[in-house]
Amino acid sequence: MVLLERTCKLFDRGKFSSIHHQGILQMMERKGPPDLNDDLDITVTNEVHGLMISGYSVESCASFIEKSEWQDVMAKCAFKHPKVSSLEPLTSVDLMIIYDFSKGIFSWLNTMHQIRTNPHGDENEALSIIFEQKLRDMLTKIRKLAAESFELAMKEGAVTERDDPTSIVGKRIDFKSALMCQVFMSLHLIQMTALRMLYEMSIVYGSPDPELWDQFRDVAVENWKALPYILSLESIVASNTIATVFIGYEAGNEEEKLYLQNVMLSVDEYLGRYPKDRARLDTVILEAGKLLTGLKPVLKELPNNS
């Protein structure tokens, strides 16, 4: 089934998901959490881990992934993956922090949408205070981890930064592997998601905070430094690392947005999922960004590709 899903991604172009993706999620739910004493079960779970995580914006998928018995076991499976050792100098503790925040994003989306649609409703004002503090506490931790990890990775040569005239910000960051790139993209994604939510709540409650928007843009600009490296990857690999573009897109000026559109179309050249018309593409990216930051409700189910 996994092979069918991946083959579908290669040959059934122009679609965002497949019936095989849905089938894998349903199969995993019915099968139940993997047995940590069964190497085959662990391997299978790791093979579909990405598909399950990508279902966090889909309510029907996330309902079982969010359960505690799944959360703990999936994390343990992930850290048994042989490629984890290739992420040095990041430690297992660093990776667990990133993983924990990443898998919690689905609950953020639901909470954000609940607050945004009825900010003064029953219990929502109190919920917003708790949620805001949670996001700010998380930001403090993830910023510290991001700064320390980047500094250490630079020192160890796992990450390099240099001038690049093809980059919209004049600099590029390169990584020792695509997997290392994905980890740092996750650090950016978590920060941008939290900052965008905090900024939205400041609007909802009548006091827009421009400092939050500036911080949001700063992380987006830092993220854009990685795009030249991402463009050097195979399109299928690159397509798994650009969720941050959707979130940070609205922080760009017109020139930057045009560049980001070009990045999306270049990465999507083979898969053909995004419209070539610039106005439509602009709308698609903005709407996807809203979905990924809780400004739109989570999907009830995966899109029907029939």
What confidence score (pLDDT) does residue 82 get?
Answer: 57
Strands 159-163 and 171-175: antiparallel
Indicate the burial class of 103 (C-beta count within 10 angstroms; 0-12, 13-18, 19 or more): buried
Structure tokens at 172: 């590029």
* pLDDT digit string, tens, across residues 173-224: 999 988 889 889 989 999 999 999 999 999 999 889 999 999 999 999 999 9
Tell me how far CA of residue 184 lies from CA of 73, 78, 148, in angstroms.
24, 17, 12
Tokens in use for 9? 């991604």
Q: Is 171 helix (H, G, I), strand (E, B) or coil?
A: strand
Range with lowest mean pLDDT among 11-15, 84-88, 194-198: 11-15
Of 69-83, 112-126, 163-177, the range with the lowest mean pLDDT is 69-83
How far, rounded to the nearest angstrom, does the alpha carbon of residue 113 sit from its chain's CA centroid?
Answer: 18
| Of 182 and 143, more confident | 143
**Closest alpha carbon to 60 in 299, 293, 290, 296:** 299
Give strand pairing partners of 172.
162
Length of the chain: 306
Residue with the two structure tokens 């881990």: 49
In terms of C-beta density within 10 A (0-12 exposed, 13-18 middle, 19 or more buried), how is residue 305 classed? middle
Per residue in 270-306, pLDDT tens? Answer: 778 899 999 999 999 999 999 989 998 765 544 443 3
Highest mean pLDDT among 59-63, 101-105, 193-197: 193-197
Tokens for 149?
A: 């990890």
Strands, E assignment, the chain: 159-163, 171-175
24-58, pLDDT tens digit by residue? 777 777 777 878 888 777 777 766 765 665 544 44
H/E run at residue 3: helix 2-11
Contact 256, 74 (CB under 8 A): no
Which one has a higher pLDDT value, 69 or 250? 250
Q: Give the C-alpha separation, 126 to 99, whole Å.
A: 28
Distance CA 44, CA 293 (A): 30
Query: What residue type is assigned to position 30 of the chain?
Result: R
Range name among 3-12, 138-147, 186-195, 215-224 with the lowest pLDDT average = 3-12
CATH architecture of 82-163+171-294: Up-down Bundle (1.20)
What is the average pLDDT value for the chain, to the nearest integer? 82
Domain boundaries, the chain: 1-80, 82-163+171-294
Least confident of 82-86, 99-103, 143-147: 82-86
Q: Rounded mean pLDDT of 81-103?
A: 69
Structure tokens at 245: 């573009």
Query: Shortest CA distance to 243 belongs to which of 303, 185, 167, 172?
Result: 185
